[in-house]
Structure 1
Amino acid sequence: MSPSLKLSPPFRADHIGSLKRPADLLAKRSDLDAGKCTAEDLKPLEDKAINKIVQMQRELGIKSITDGEFRRHMFFDGVFDNLDGMKYLPDVPLHMFMDYVPDIPAFKKLVVGKTGSSFICVGKLKRTRPFYKDQFEYLKSITKPEEHKNIKITVCAPEWFHLRHGPYAYDKKVYANDDEYFADIAQAYREEIQDLYSRGCRNLQFDDPLLAYFCAESMIKGMTEVGVDHEALLNTYVKVYNDCLHDRPADMNIGLHLCRGNFKASQGLDGRHFSEGGYDRIAVKLFHEIDVDCYYLEYDTDRAGTFEPLKHLPKNKVVVLGLITSKFPELENKEELKRKVHSAAEVIAQGTEKRTKEDALNQICISPQCGFASHSEGNKVSDEDVKKKLALVVETAKEIWTDV
């Protein structure tokens, strides 16, 4: 094994971040949304739920610790809603949402009238307050000092609203071009990363369905039809990530999670996906040009393609195979999971940088393909389903590797 390879974190048996929220917490959050209670009223229920979910992770043998994203409404909350210059608008005209983005057509079917809500940049972007400090500090307060390095904070993709809104993402009187806009976003992320690091955070995960959208032929076709250079835009986003991670702490694990949609069941979409297509189109840029340590990749269905793109994985990086679905309660077959892990190792071993299968296997971890609740209301799985799924992750890892 290469001495520069980081294996922990991430751990052999990992999970993406969001977990199933209890019913009383969801009810109280609904009261908050309706103006029937305050955030202070909600916090004790959040604390109680987080305490319980952290203990569950310990009992199952999941060493990476998250708060289940129980303080969030959506997985991407935290950055742009706390960034000066971004404004929440409840009535954004629908033409300002780009139809080529795979989830936008479904979004437009769900909104009532001719507008939808979103965040738009209306002023200079600046980080004047922390994004995730309180979430990290609470996890520190309920975990042992030796566990602090295992706490995982999940963060929003820096290009989230830019892809969704295209030319309408920011006021042209504020920023003349994408370079200016993203320069201030990258500065905000660098400040947040340094702040989290100073507090003891050593495990950070970007949640980014958007990069996987570049694997979808539907988006590439849609961009081409309206004159958007998809290759140039992907290059822009790669640069944004590297600018966000410029001067990143060397001993801070940075992960990048890609998925293809995990929409909330309550809106009648039953945890559906929005895009299809293997990682082949973006694999070289993903593995070689983005300065992260590990990749959490969806691989629970055929829509993610084959393991063939893993042939581009460098020797000093880790891939976390999302082989277990978080969308439905049915359990995967453990022997089949083990077979898939070994199949992926064979592809990596025979890849562009040859290595032994044993070395390749040491670059692999496993997890669910996504969180169990990208939206607060979650997928159609019960608490017991979540436990069984995570237990399966741990059991499978223990039968493949000895360092679990």
Structure 2
Amino acid sequence: MSANKILPPFRADHIGSLKRPLDLLKKREDFHAGHCTRADLKEVEDLAIKNEVAKQQAVGIKSVTDGEFRRHMFWDGFHNNLDGMVVVENPGRELFKMYVPDIKAFFESHAEKPGDTMICTGKLVRNKPMYRPEFEYVASLVAPEEVKNVKITLAAPEWYHLRHGEHAVDKSVYPTDDLYFADLAKAYREELADLYDAGCRNVQFDDPLLAYFCSQSMLDGMKAEGTDSGAILDSYIKLYNDCIEGHPADMTVGVHLCRGNFKNGMHFSEGGYDAIATKLFKELNADTYYLEYDTDRAGGFEPLSELPAPKTAVLGLVTSKFPVMEKKEELIARVRDAAKHVARGSGETEEQALQRLCISPQCGFASHAEGNDMTDADVKAKLNLCVEVAKAVWPADA
């Protein structure tokens, strides 16, 4: 962990979402079909989460989560609980920006559609807790001294804006994006304050969209449409900084970037972090970054030379897409290689730089409820591998 923090991330971490048990998936189907009550569904959710927390603890994962078992998709929970956001059912492609990699992939494949979406048609107001109930239940399952380690994952603030561009916001409500972002950031600050009040000290924004700015196809598409991708990225970094402004020093804020982790390991974009590294690491005021590094499409470790002290990076070296197991010694070597690049940019020794690195899977095991083609045993083995590597690389504090 970083030199000035005694909080997460831990040497062996995980992104948040986990494989849903079949009985939970079946009960959720029953609920949506009107065959059971919300209380019936919650009872099954609670038991599944309780079992999953015990499994994480048994493996040695300290930053336990609820696996996002109460969500269908990883981004659920924030925008859909804001006054001012409305659902658009069965949207056509005219509502979307086709340069966004996952949007393009969905429409071109014809096998999947983006599904219902949301746009802003009124003033954004947060008038109820969003993630606090999720946090409080997990907190009730761990020892009091472990509550500070429980991790809650949050939706990326720019999720709907990038997808819809000028269609994202009713201009009669918010004439400019800056005004829209200001109220959105206020809602996030209120949510973080509420989580902190509940005892939460470990939050992670799930944001594949920032990694899309590494994708040349999206950059080209934005340019062709006359959109300044650099200006948009700058506005999102400012949005993030406004969302987390004033967060307490003992609340760790992480940002997770990946390039897609849909059904059967489907990904949406490629490109190393080189194009955004300076802005991502030096201008976005997060404490830590969870980075995809399980395939060549994420590029090399060179951009880590931009990571300033005391910020940390959690290296997603273990794939969550497929059950094939990585080799422990190769993972150890990759962690040490990454430390060389961190040291080169920061002026630290490699051992000092190593203290600002951790290991995890590159993404969650179920970014959507159905999850990837992995068994519960596969998930356990992957997390256990992360713990084994952590013990080998950082024996004093793994």
- TM-score normalised by structure 1 residue count: 0.96
Q: Tell me if 1:395 matches 2:388.
A: yes
Matched residue type, 1:360: A
* 1:13 Cα deviation after fit: 0.3
Matches within 5 A, 1:133-152: 133-152=132-151
Partner SS state of residue 380, structure 1: coil
Q: Give yes or no for the alignment of 1:193 onto 2:187.
A: no
TM-aligned CA deviation for residue 141 of structure 1: 1.4
In structure 1, the residue matched to 2:349 is 356
Q: Deviations 1:305-329 (Å, cap 9, x if unpaired)?
A: 0000001110111000000000000
Q: What residue is the counterpart of 1:79 in the other structure?
A: 78
| Alignment-derived partner of residue 131 in structure 1 | 130
Q: Give the drift of 1:2.
A: 7.3
1:329–1:298 CA distance, 2 compared to 1 (3 A): same
1:40-51 superposed matches below 5 A: 40-51=39-50
CA distance, structure 1, for counterparts of residue 145 and residue 376 of structure 2: 28
User: Who is 1:368 aligned against?
Assistant: 361
- Give the Cα separation in 1 of the matches to 2:248 and 2:333: 36
Q: 1:93–1:114: 8 Å Cα contact kept in structure 2?
A: no
Deviations 1:216-259 (A, max 9, x none): 00000000001110000000000000000111111100001000
Task: Provide the rounded CA distance (Å) in 2 between the counterparts of 1:115 and 1:144.
Answer: 40
Q: Distance in 1 between matches of 2:370 and 2:386?
A: 23
Aligned to 1:183: 182
| 1:373–1:58 Cα change, 3 Å | same
What is the TM-score when the length of structure 2 is the normalising length?
Answer: 0.97
Question: Any idea what SS the aligned residue of 2:162 has?
Answer: helix
Residue matched to 1:258: 257
Counterpart of 1:313? 307
Aligned match of 1:331: 325
Offset of residue 105 of structure 1: 1.7
Displacement of 1:110 in angstroms is: 6.2
Task: State the superposition RMSD in angstroms.
Answer: 1.5
TM-superposition CA deviations, 1:302-361 (whole Å, max 9, x none): 00000000011101110000000000000000000001001001111111x211011001
> How do 1:153-168 residues align onto structure 2 when only pairs under 5 Å count?
153-168=152-167
Aligned partner of residue 328 in structure 1, secondary structure: coil
The AA in structure 1 aligned to 2:197 is S
Report if the CA contact (8 A) 2:2-2:355 is conserved.
Answer: no
> What SS does structure 2 have at the residue aligned with 1:306?
coil
State how far apart, in whole Å, the 2-side matches of 1:310 and 1:350 are: 9
C-alpha separation between the residues in 2 aligned to 1:285 and 1:311?
Answer: 13
Residue 120 of structure 2 is matched in structure 1 by 121
Alignment gaps of 5+ in structure 2: none
Partner of 2:239: 240
Q: Separation in 1 of the partners of 2:69 and 2:249?
A: 29
CA distance in 2, matches of 1:114, 1:200: 38
Distance 1:401 1:55 in 2: 24
- Structure 2 distance, partners of 1:126, 1:195, is 15
User: 1:395 and 1:328, CA in 2 relative to 1: closer, same or farther beyond 3 A?
Assistant: same
Aligned: 1:67 with 2:66: yes
Whether the aligned pair in 2 keeps the contact of 1:93 and 1:115 (CA below 8 Å) is no
Identify the residue that residue 219 of structure 1 maps to in structure 2.
Answer: 218
The CA deviation string for residues 368-404 of structure 1, in whole angstroms up to 9 with x for no partner, is 0000000011011000000000000000110111211
Q: State the partner residue of 1:267.
A: none
Q: Distance in 1 between matches of 2:140 and 2:350?
A: 41
- Equivalent position to 2:336, from 332, 342, 360: 342
Percent identity over the alignment is 61
Q: Is residue 18–residue 372 contact of structure 1 (8 Å, CA) maintained in 2?
A: yes
Q: Rate the CA distance shift 1:135–1:370 in 2: closer, same or farther, 3 A.
A: same
1:155-198 alpha-carbon deviations (Å, 9 max, x no partner)? 00000000000110011111101101100100000000000001
